[in-house]
Structure 1
């Protein structure tokens, strides 16, 4: 038996403007995951703002996470040093990291391999 969790969020339509790069994957596969459950290769589309609406990034990017360290020296990780819960890093762009609270919600398109595995 599969267990499903429902999230009290609103996923809005992806912006169709010059500020947002087109999504090159099929949006029908977009799913909501906790940041701590995002895997390497998942395509990150949006976070969720305080009003629980999707907040799309200007361009999607693949997750390539690693262990969080508030002392890594990137200038970004230190901003979550006092976060009361666990923190994960979803990407590293050669000089600065992408730390997220582990319980933050992310809108992603899972890797194709993950989509197949989860269907089974």
Structure 2
């Protein structure tokens, strides 16, 4: 019987992750016309994630403010600065700063394939 519960848990987490990604897509589409609705979508996505213990991927984590739960759009309501090894994202609504490790790509150096 425990086998079925594990399948059910994984199924629930997969469905929750799909729903979270869909809510972020809706928030992105809705931001230009109604930013309050996009904030509500993000809040709902966070509640789903907490309910089903789903970790957000990094590309979704950087798109919302954990303090005020607003959907972040660079240039409109957030500021992104690259400081050394870190990317600092400042929410212009509440002033909260999030820092993420930033690995700049070495575009000037040729790759191993190009050297051969």
Same fold (TM over 0.5): no
Richer in helix (by share): 2
Richer in strand (by share): 1
Report which structure shows greater RCO (CA 8 Å, sep ≥6): 1
> TM-score, length-normalised on structure 2?
0.26
> TM-score, length-normalised on structure 1?
0.25
- The structure with more radius of gyration: 2
